[in-house]
Structure 1
Amino acid sequence: MIAPAGSVDRIAAALFANGLILRGGFNFALGEAPPTGSSGAPAAAVLLVGQAGAAPWPHFLRWREKQPRTIADPLDSWSREVIGAVAETFGARAVSPSDRPYLPFQQWAMRAEGLRPSPLGILMHQRYGLWHAYRGALLFDDELSVQAAEAAPHLCDSCVEKPCLKSCPVDAYSGQGFAHQSCLAHVRGANGEPCRSSGCLDRNACPYGTAYRYPPEVQAFHMASFAAVAG
C-alpha cells in the first residue's frame, strides 16, 4: 500500500511550524532489514527530519523556558517531543539519532538526499554547506510517494584549498580522521575560548552555505554540550 502523496506535504507543514524540515526519504527495498514501524512490523518507508541553518532555535528556546534547567540533552528532548507529536498525528514511529542501538542515520541521509561527507565528516549539502542537521526520522508501515534523490556534484571535490583542514589549532581533522581527545582537550583548555564562544574553527572556515551558518550563540550551545559530555 502507498500512502497518499498529500500526506508528505502535511507532514512537512507540521514540522515547518517548529522550524524543522523534511530532509528527503525513501521506501525500503525488498531484502533490507529496516527497523520496525508503528505497528511493530518492519517499516516500509522512512522520512528524514532535520534543519537548515538555525531555524528551529527560537522554537527551541521558547520550549526550554518552560522546562527545568536541569533537563539533560534539552535539544534532543525538544526534537523528540516535536517529532514524536508529528509521528503520532500521522501514524508513524519517531526515532532519533541518539537512540540505542544506533540507527544508520548518515547512510539514510546520503540515500535520501544524495549527499557525501565533507572532510569533517559532516555531510556536505549543495545549498546549506555544513550548516544543517538531522534531528530524527519517521518510520511508516506503508510505502510513501517520495521523489528519489538526484545526483549532484560534491562541492568538496572542487574545493582545492580545503580551509576546513587548516584552521584548527590542534589539527583535529586530518586524513587519519577526527582526533577526538585533542579537540576535546583544546576546547576545554585555556586556549579554547574562540571555539567555545564561536564554534569549530574548521567548520566555520568552509566557504559553502555561509548564509545558513549558525549564529555564535547556537554554535556556543553545541560546543558547550560537546565539552560537557564528550570523553
Structure 2
Amino acid sequence: MLRGGFNFAGGEETPSGLSGAAARSVLLVGQAGAAPWPHFLRWRQRQSQTIADPLDTWSREMIGAVAKKFGARAVSPSDTPYLPFQQWAMQAEGLKPSPLGILMHPQYGLWHAYRGALLFEDEIGLPEPGDVIHLCDACLEKPCLKSCPVDAYSADGFAHKTCLAHVRGDNGAPCRTGGCLDRNACPYGAAYRYPPQAQAFHMAALAGV
C-alpha cells in the first residue's frame, strides 16, 4: 500500500532516479497489519526453500513491477548503501519513533512497515502530512518497556546482544514463537497485530534461528 511521499527540497542531496538523474520525489510503499502475509506465503511456496531473505526478495519483486510500470526506480530498506527510510517515513507521514524505535502510527500502532520506495525524477503533487497525535506521549504506563524478560529496551536504547542471547536461549521460546513481548505489550493498533506465524518469521530472521 502507498504510505505517503514528498518532494525533495531544492539543493538537497538525493538518490538517483531511474535514468541516473537526481530524484525529485519519493513515494513510500509498505504495509499495515498482516494483509500481505497470505500473498507472501503463496509466493514463498513456489520458491526454493534455500532462498535468502525471502520477504525482501518478494517485496523487491512486487514493488519493482510497479516501478517499471510507472517509470520509477525502486529501492529497498536493505539496499546498500542504506537510504534514510525512517527519516523519509517521518517526513511523509508525520510520525515519531516509539520507545522501541519503531515509528508509532495513530491507527496501526507498531504494526506496520515500509518495504520499499519509488523514486521519480519529476516532482509529484503531494499533500503535506497533517498534524499527527503521537500516542506514546499520552501513554504513561509504557508497558512496551516493562514486558521484556531481559529489559532489552530502555532509555539507553536497544541492547541488541542481550536480546539475541535471550531469544536464542532456553528461555526464549515465547519470543521465538510469538514475537517481541515488548512490542506486543503496546495497547495501540491491536487490530493490526501480526499473527504469531508472521511474528515468529520476523524473530527468526532477526535472531538467525
TM-score category (smaller protein): over 0.9
Verify: 1:155 aligned to 2:101, yes or no.
no
- Measured after TM superposition, the shift of residue 203 of structure 1 is 0.1
Q: For 1:63-78, what aligned pairs fall within 5 Å after superposition? A: 63-78=43-58
Give the structure 2 partner of residue 225 of structure 1. Answer: 205
- Look up the match of 1:6: none
Residue equivalent to 1:171: 151
Give me the whole-angstrom Cα distance separating, in 2, the residues matched to 1:107 and 1:188: 31
Secondary structure in structure 2 of the residue aligned to 1:42: coil
Q: SS at 1:46's partner residue?
A: strand
Q: CA deviation at 1:148?
A: 1.1
> Which residue of the partner structure matches residue 43 of structure 1?
23
TM-score, normalised to structure 1, is: 0.90
3-state SS, counterpart of residue 5 of structure 2: strand
Quote the offset at 1:146 in angstroms.
1.3
Q: For 2:82, what is the secondary structure of its paired residue? A: coil
Paired residue for 1:200? 180
**Is residue 2:110 matched to residue 1:130?**
yes
What secondary structure does 1:208 align onto? coil
Q: For residues 66 and 197 of structure 1, what CA distance do their matches in structure 2 show?
A: 24
Q: Secondary structure at the match of 1:156?
A: helix
Instruction: Give SS of 1:110's match.
Output: helix
5+ residue gaps, structure 1, are 1-20
TM-score (norm 2): 0.99
SS in 1 for 2:31: strand
Per-residue CA shift, 1:92-143, capped at 9, x if unaligned? 0000000101000000000000000000000000000000000000000111
Match of 2:79 in 1: 99
SS of 1:202's equivalent in the other structure is: helix
Distance 1:146 1:187 in 2: 42
1:117 aligns with 2:117: no
Structure 2: unaligned runs, 5 residues or longer: none
Q: CA–CA distance in 1 between the matches of 2:171 and 2:137?
A: 32
Query: Which residue number corresponds to residue 11 of structure 2?
Result: 31
**Structure 1 residue runs of 4+, over 6 Å off?**
none
Aligned residues: 209
Shift of 1:80: 0.3
Q: Deviations over 1:59-110 (max 9, x none)?
A: 1011111100000000000000000010000000000000101000000000
Look up the match of 2:193. Answer: 213
Instruction: Quote how far apart the aligned CAs of 1:46 are.
Output: 0.1
State percent identity of aligned pairs. 77
**Would you say 1:189 and 2:169 are equivalent positions?**
yes
- d(CA) in 1 for partners of 2:12 and 2:73? 18
| TM-fit CA distance, 1:178 | 0.1
Q: 1:177-212: per-residue Cα shift (whole Å, max 9, x none)?
A: 000000000000000000000000000000000000
